[in-house]
Amino acid sequence: MTIWKRTLDPDALNALSEHSLVSHLGIRFTHVGDESLEATMPVDARTQQPFGLLHGGASVVLAESMGSVAGYLCVEEGQSVVGIEVSASHHRAVSSGEVRGLCRPLHLGARTQSWQIEIRNSRDQLCCSCRLTVAVLG
């Protein structure tokens, strides 16, 4: 059984994100599962800090983007979500390639949702773990 109340595939999610920070950073939604959402982000000049490593803020953008889209997919027509808190722990540096985010729900309430986002490198090693809380509006 799926948690989603709206049906959008990765192509539709990527089209929705055009002309935004999401597309500017090269974030691409790649998979919508029954209870999870996946996306990738390149580690390049757009997402690196001056020392050549993946910028922690870019990881947070990936996580918040994924959690916000997941939240949107979990609410009824006429409702929306807005982020109210995000936290991130950075575990491992990444200097090239791409990272993959996996977003899963922790809590799906009528007024708030909490999402866990794991960001992994190309060797499937955990680089960053994030938690996003969103408020449900409407």
Which residues are the active-site residues? 64
Distance, CA of 54 to CA of 43 (rounded, Å): 6
Phi-psi region at 15: left, alpha or beta (left = phi > 0; alpha = psi -120 to 50): alpha
Distance, CA of 105 to CA of 92 (rounded, Å): 23
- Evaluated on CA atoms 76, 107, 1, 27, the torsion sign reads positive
Distance, CA of 54 to CA of 94 (rounded, Å): 5
Containing 71, the helix (H) or strand (E) segment is helix 56-73
The structure tokens 């950073």 sit at 25
